[in-house]
Each structure stands twice: as C-alpha cells, then as structure tokens.
A and B are shown apart, each in its own frame.
Chain A
Amino acid sequence: MSIVAYLPRRALSLAEEEAAAPPAFELTGRRKLSEAERTLAGQIFGEFRADPRHHEFVLGCINCGECTTGCPAARFYDFSPREMLQIALTGDATTLWDALQEKIWSCCQCYTCNMRCRFGNDIAGIISVMRELSVRHGVEATRKTLAPFGRSLTLLMTVGTQVSSDMIQPDFFRDWGPFATGSDKVWNVSADIMRKAIPSDVLQTTRSSWEVSVQTSLELFRIYEETGVLDMLRGLDPDLTEMLIDIIEERREEFSEARERFATELAGMKGTVATFSG
C-alpha cells in the first residue's frame, strides 16, 4: 500500500483553505525584484507551468532527498535537485526566478536523480525546461553564464559538431597538460600532420569533429530555422545569430555553385541529393 494512505487527512476543508490561502512556505531572504524583473518572472512562470512537459516530468515529491544524495553538482555547489523539483512543484514566480539566476546551471544533466527518484520525476528534464525559458527570454544571468560558448555555438549551428581539435588550445585548456592537442609539440610536427595520422579521412580535419558535407550542414540549419532554435538564440545573443545567418547564406551560395560544377555527376542521382536546394 502506498505510504500516502497512512498520512493523516487534512483538517481544513478546501473552501476554508482557499479562503485563507496561506502560502505553503515562506522564504526569508528573497531577492528583491525590480518591476521589469517581476513582469518577466511572471511571464516565465506562466510559460513554465503551461509547458506540457511540466505534466510529464513533475509527478510528486516527498522531500526524501534520494535525488540529492546521488547528485554530483550538490557536492560542489549550493544546489540540490530536491529543491529544483520542489520549486517546479510548489514554487511561484519569485522562487523560479531565483533558481534561474544561477542554480539551474549547476546541474550536470547526468540523470542520476531521475534514476533514484521513487516518483519517477524527470528532474534533469524539468531543469532543462527552466534553462530553455531563461535562454529564450535572454535572462541576464543566463547570458553571462553562456558567454564563453560563442565559438562552440557557432560550430554547432554551422556544422553540427560541438568541438574541433583547433579549439583545444593551450591558452584555454592549459589544465589539460601538454598532450591534449595530440602532443604535436612532442612529436615535432604540425597539428595538421597529427590529424592526418588518424586512419579515417573524415576525421582528419582540425576545424570540426569530423568533415561535414555542405548539404548536411544546410539541412541542419534548416531544422534550426523551422523549429524555433534560431529565435531562441536571438533571445540570448542577437549578434551571434545574425553572424550565423550570414555564414549560412554564403554556404548556400557555395552549395548552388557546386550543383552547377557537379551537374554531370549529379544528373543520374535520386534521393535527397537530387532535390535538396539548401
């Protein structure tokens, strides 16, 4: 039998409770919000609650803390998945806003909490929903947190891979030691030659994780355009978004020029290669 069956029934009738409407919990030390922040926080809260995933991911909570005992982020940050779930379940606009300022970005997305939660809550998932909203609305704290991602976002949006070997440079990855770049210094040859020594042609590039054909990257960008990802990114970084659009426009031109150049080879072909226009 469920443990809930043993819990004492509430004394107040629902009508009495509604009349009194006491807050379930009072937080002290709450952040003081400006009028603009209060409006934005209210809007984000409304969208958060209306997101269909809220129903799917937040199923109940008995504050057991099982999620938090396995959480890697909880060991090093002022953060707990139990608190995130409680905010999702019982929080209001202010507590959600508070979480968006820093805490949501502590999570490693390892899904350990999900595996441990007896309610089957998708805690990692609901944290992602919170993150998506803070990106879409360009919450200032989120912009700052994600500021170092310009290069990897550019790569991701234009070729669909997240890192490249030429990103692993000593000035940014000094803590990885002298061998992180394929130890080209140790072997006394250039980074390009180190990549050439990988026995697969698609892996021999230094500019992305693997060579990605122009058609493939244009298909990906089409997905971003059609599914609202570009609009989201605009909320976070409008300049970066415009730059990406320019890069893709050039690539589209390159693609149509290539179609003329390879007209003979392409003539007999069928499938997407024959129809995709960029």
Chain B
Amino acid sequence: MLSASEIRKVVEERNVHQKGTGKKVVDVREEMHRLEDKGELIVHRIRPENRPVEAKTLFGWTKRIPTDRLWHHKSCGQCGNIPGYPSSLLWLMNETGRTYLNEPHQTSCTAWNYHGTATSNPTALAAVAARNFHRAYETDHFPLIHCGTSYGDYKEMRKLLVENAAVRTKVREVLRKMGRDLVLPEEIVHYSEWVHAMTPEIVARQSRSVTGIVATVHEPCHYYKMVPEDAVYDDRVYAGQRPAVPSGILMSLGATVADYSTWYDCCGFGFRHILSEREFSRSFANLRKIRPMVEEAHADVAITSDTGCVTTLDKSQWIGKAHGLSYLLPVLSDVQFAALALGAHPYKIAQVHWHSASAEGLLEKMGIDWKSAKAEFQEYLRALQSGAAPELLHPAHGEIETFFAVNKGQVLPDEAPGAPVAGAGPDVRRGPRE
C-alpha cells in the first residue's frame, strides 16, 4: 500500500487535474459544433427529411430524434439469438412509412468484446464508431442504434473524440487511410427513442388490445447508466424519475407496467459471463430479475430494449427448472410487443420461436390465434425448403455488396453539402447542409 503522503499526492494531483480541465457534466454537443467550426470534424446533421421529433433528456436538455431516412446500426447479439428484434423494428418502419437502409456495410461497435475481454482500447473503439458514423453519413441516412451497449459506447466515444485532441487526431488519421473522415452525428439515437418519438403513429395503428397484460420492464443498464445525461426521460412516465423508454410505449398501448423491487439491477449478461461463466448470468437473471417480476409483480411478460438483456433474461430461464424455478416468463423487446399489438405475424415477423421461454401463452392473452399462425409458418418453412423465395421487408442486396460498400445513388462525402472538399484539408468545405 502507498504511504499516507503518497496517497495525499495522488489526491492533490487529481484536484489539480479536475480544476485544470474544469471537469463537470457538460453538453458535449455544444463543443462538437465548435470543433466543426474549426474544421476538426463534420457533424452529421438531422435534416428536415429525417422528420425529427423533440424529446427531453435526464437534465431536461432537448434531444432531437430523427424518425425517417435512417441507417440501421444492428446489434451483434440480437441477430444471432433474437432476430425478431430487428425484424419487428423494420416491420414497424414499413408500417409507418419510414425509409431506411439495412446494409452489410456495418461492423458492430465491438464494445461487447471490450467489456467482456478488454482486447481493445478506447482509440480503436472510437475509430470503429467513427467508421460506422462515416458510412451512415456517406449514404445520407441518419444512424439509428439498435443496441443499448452500442448506444452507451458511442456516447462515450463521441465524448472522447470531442474532449481528447490526441485521440481525435489519431482516429482522423486512421480514417483518412481508408478514404473516410471524422464524422459525429448530431445526436446518438437508440431505436427505443425512435419508438418513443413514433408513439402516436404506432398507437394509431394498433389492432390488438393489450389491456390486462401486465408487463415488467427491465431497463438496459447501458441505456441510462452510461453517459446518463443523454437518456430520454418524460414527465408522463414514472413522473420523469425513470427513463421513458421502453415503459412509455407499453403504457401508451394500454398495457399495465408493473413495478418490482429489483428494477435497477442489471440482467446478469456480464459480457464475459454470458459466454464463459453462465452460472453467474443464470443465477442473477433468475433470482434477481425473473423471480421478483413474477412473484412481486405477477407479470405476463418482461419487456426490455437491449439485445443482451433479452438474451440473458430469456435464455437463462429454461435451466431454472433444475432448481425448482419454473417461471418461463416470456421476454420480448418493446418492438416485438408493439409489432404484435399492431397485428404483425408472431412467427414470420416477431420470430418468437427463437425464444427459450415460450411466448405462446402471452399471444393467447393478446387474442392472437397462434395455432393458425404456427401452422402457416410451418407451411412457409416447407415452401422455403422447396426453393421458394423468402419474403423480405426490404429489397435484397446485390452480389457486388458482398464485397463493396457501394453507394446506391446516395450522397457521396465529397458531394454532400457541408462536407470537406476532397484533398483540400479539413477546413475547406462546401456550403452549410441546411
């Protein structure tokens, strides 16, 4: 252990550092715009065609949520385990007439790996974030982040890139080597915020009543505990004392959102644990989350808005039987639940068959004839097996996109208004975007 005087020295250095940097919670977006004025980066602006809706964050700051012309930033967890999560979101966008790109030209944020194994570093994470931001920018579609961890990580990376000149310089240098530039979106937007902004339009299309359904919400930690000042809160949801998403959409659809004592706990995912030490994940998920949800709140369904959380809460339950915990509480994302309430096919769209805790009892309570839907799906599988073309929510990508991040007529970086003029350095740019 250090001596008392050495400890005092550490604290003293810390004080000097804090005073020197004026460390306090600041709205990093303001500094981001100042850096753009200096030509250090490009802000990907929300434009009228993104049809933004305003929301409030924890500190009452205004956040603009784009609702159209979106670039889907998928989550590496959801697509492997719970594909009904992205497909329900795409389906809701089609239903509400929103346009989007769902491309093969996206990497994950790689933060699952970082938080699980630490085989990365902040500069790499920032470069990955900026690479994906630039890809969205060059297609002129605004990034919409599916995953709670990607959302939290990208907010951390935006902060790092704004506050740390050395990281900014290094990341810009790396991006330039691949023909990209440093772009930060005006807002970092989680898909559940899109759902929040779209609530009136979603509710207007509701075709199945969910009155009488009791839902317990698991709030994804990385949605509101990482860079908390940017999470969306609303006075109408828990009087603004808890995040507005995903509870808000459930309440608006008419479900009863029930409280339980461990709402603040994580799900047990643990990043490393879910892959290599699941004794922890399943103990935590069953004992600290599912049991109180069922025994205290008598829930019909657990709803969450992160891929890791859906996976952990759902997949951990089956083995609970070995310890006499036979809850098998259905676990869905908010978009799966909303899509079902709007009449989506439970198997073709909500893809509930990937879940370990069967959702069929819940479907019945929602008045869904799941037996016919299941028979229909079985028929569809047989057709696919005989070579029928799959039903798709958006046009398929051509073979060239297996290799190249082509632009299908979107705005290119050197043509976009507000973009730097190629080869002229960061501070020579075209006219303003709006």
Asked if A215 and B400 make an inter-chain contact with CB atoms under 8 angstroms apart, the answer reads no
Count A-B contacts at CB 8 Å.
Answer: 355
What is the distance, in angstroms, from B422's C-beta to the closest C-beta of chain A? 9
What separation, in Å, do the CA atoms of A110 and B120 have in the docked complex?
Answer: 18
What 1/0 mask marks residues of chain A from 188 to 208 whose CB sits below 8 Å from any chain B CB?
010001111111111110000
Q: Does B394 contact A (CB under 8 A)?
A: yes
B276: which A residues are within 8 A, CB to CB?
Answer: 145, 148-149
Among A146, A201, A254, contact of B396 (Cβ-Cβ < 8 Å): A201
A64 within 8 A of B: no
Q: A interface, by DSSP: helix, strand, loop or mixed?
A: helix
CB distance B119 to A229 under 8 Å?
A: yes
How many A residues touch B, CB cutoff 8 Å? 115
Q: Which residue of B lies closest to A19 (CB)?
A: B5
Q: How far is the CB of A129 from chain B (nearest CB, A)?
A: 9
Interface residues of B in 60-92 (CB under 8 A from A): 74-81, 83, 86-87, 90-91
A130 CB → nearest B CB, Å = 8
Q: Is A5's CB within 8 Å of the partner chain B?
A: no
The answer to whether A112 and B225 have CB atoms under 8 Å apart is yes
| Contact A215 B404, CB 8 Å, known A112-B221, A160-B107, A202-B397 | yes
B residues less than 8 Å from A58 (CB atoms): 14
- Separation in Å of the B386 CB from the closest CB of chain A? 10
> What residue in chain B is nearest A23 (Cβ atoms)?
B1
Partner of A222, one of B5, B174, B278, B351: B174
Do most interface residues of chain B lie in helix, strand or loop, or is the interface mixed? helix
User: Chain B, 168-182, contact with A by CB distance < 8 Å: what is the 0/1 string?
Assistant: 001001100111100
Q: Counting CB contacts under 8 A, is B112 at the interface?
A: yes
Sort chain B's interface into a size bin. Answer: 35 or more
Contact B14 A24 (CB under 8 A): no
Q: Would you give the shortest CB distance from A165 to chain B, in whole angstroms?
A: 5
A276 and B113 in contact (CB under 8 A), knowing A95-B1, A197-B377, A215-B405? no
A interface residue numbers (CB < 8 A to B):
14, 17-18, 21-27, 53, 55-56, 58-60, 70, 72-73, 75-77, 89-92, 95, 105, 108-112, 114-115, 128, 131-132, 134-135, 145-146, 148-149, 152-153, 156, 159-165, 167-168, 173, 175-177, 179-180, 182-183, 186-187, 189, 193-204, 209-217, 219-220, 222-224, 226-229, 232-233, 236, 254-255, 258-259, 262, 265-266, 269-276
